[in-house]
């Protein structure tokens, strides 16, 4: 049985206008398309949402728009992480008042805390809210790995319900599944290994690719949930060039370029992110053409 934050979730991009402001109408349009395509939950204001460049007010605005547009049709797992525990707690409290369904909280970056520091950070956040919390481990970006033993300790806290694992270390993910209670959710944070993570006991995916292809990514995970790994692999292998090209440059540069080519949003980024290089854009366009994705995503 699927529970909140299992299945296929989308790490939503944040659409900007050419003047740099958040495109409110595009946020709503993208969320509508996600729901109508069968995605299981949405996660705004994370890495793919360019959260480090959003102001406190903008994060609240995006999450407010997303929560309003979903209208409880799918859960909203709002991003709220950072290197200052007090600031994260303040944001979490405001998000709870907005009516989001849960919090996705990335490990503190730059500070490089110890494992005990990570435990105390998440414990303090959990004690500040009644919302379920999903840990987010992405050491390639943060410079710190949330180790298996720390995840197992945190899993004992009532409202820490899972981890988005983006370490790329499938062995570590398998150890987390083994070390944590049965109900604790291990979610893949990487599209290309999502089927593998499901095979070792993962419960879903928080996807970049589903911004462009929500129906297809939801189907891959649904097939794996049913245990039909042969069918899941076939669809995964067809999608693999797209899953890989989304990381030919720093996420979310490629996915935004792809979505713009598909007619889903204006291609706009915030510094220090910039449009893809000519070589990267050629790779993205080649994959879109090969998979016949151009012109396939009419605006909803």
Widest Cα–Cα separation across the chain? 50
Tokens of 66: 């997303």
Residues 119, 122, 136, 269: which is the catalytic one?
136
Helix axes 148-155, 170-179, angle to 10 degrees: 30
Residues 164, 256, 269, 283: which is the catalytic one?
164
* Residues forming a β-bridge with 165: 137, 188
* Inter-residue contact 78 to 103 (CB < 8 Å): yes
Alpha helix (H) residue ranges in the chain:
24-36, 56-70, 85-98, 115-127, 139-142, 148-155, 170-179, 194-199, 214-225, 229-245, 253-261, 278-290
* Integer Cα distance of 265 and 18 in angstroms: 11
- CA 243, distance to chain mean position in Å, is 14
1 CB contacts (<8 Å, ≥6 apart)?
A: none
* Integer Cα distance of 229 and 215 in angstroms: 17
Q: Quick check: is 164 catalytic? A: yes
SS3 185: strand
* Inter-residue contact 188 to 202 (CB < 8 Å): yes
Q: Quick check: is 136 catalytic? A: yes
> So which residues are the catalytic ones?
136, 164
């Amino acid at each position: 049985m699927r529970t909140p934050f299992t299945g296929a979730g989308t790490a939503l991009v944040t659409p900007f206008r050419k003047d740099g402001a958040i495109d409110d109408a595009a946020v709503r349009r993208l969320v509508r398309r996600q729901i109508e395509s069968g995605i299981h939950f949405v996660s705004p204001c994370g890495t793919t949402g360019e959260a480090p460049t959003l102001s406190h007010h903008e994060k609240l605005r995006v999450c407010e728009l997303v929560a309003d547009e979903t209208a409880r049709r799918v859960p909203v797992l709002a991003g709220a992480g950072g290197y200052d525990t007090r600031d994260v707690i303040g944001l979490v409290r405001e998000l709870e008042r907005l009516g989001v369904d849960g919090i996705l909280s990335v490990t503190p970056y730059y500070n490089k805390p110890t494992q005990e520091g990570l435990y105390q950070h998440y414990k303090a956040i959990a004690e500040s809210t009644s919302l379920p919390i999903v840990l987010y481990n992405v050491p390639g970006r943060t410079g710190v790995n949330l180790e298996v033993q720390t995840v197992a300790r945190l899993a004992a806290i009532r409202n820490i319900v899972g981890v988005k694992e983006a370490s790329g270390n499938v062995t570590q993910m398998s150890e987390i599944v083994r070390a944590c209670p049965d109900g604790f959710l291990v979610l893949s944070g990487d599209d290309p290994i999502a089927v593998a993570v499901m095979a070792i006991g993962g419960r879903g995916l928080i996807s970049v690719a589903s911004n462009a292809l929500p129906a297809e990514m939801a189907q891959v995970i649904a097939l794996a949930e049913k245990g039909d790994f042969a069918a899941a692999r076939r669809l995964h292998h067809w999608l693999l060039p797209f899953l890989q090209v989304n990381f030919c440059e720093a996420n979310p540069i490629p996915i935004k370029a792809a979505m713009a080519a598909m007619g889903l949003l204006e291609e706009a980024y915030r510094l220090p992110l910039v449009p893809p290089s000519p070589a990267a854009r050629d790779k993205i366009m080649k994959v879109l053409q090969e998979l016949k994705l151009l012109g396939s995503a009419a605006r909803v």
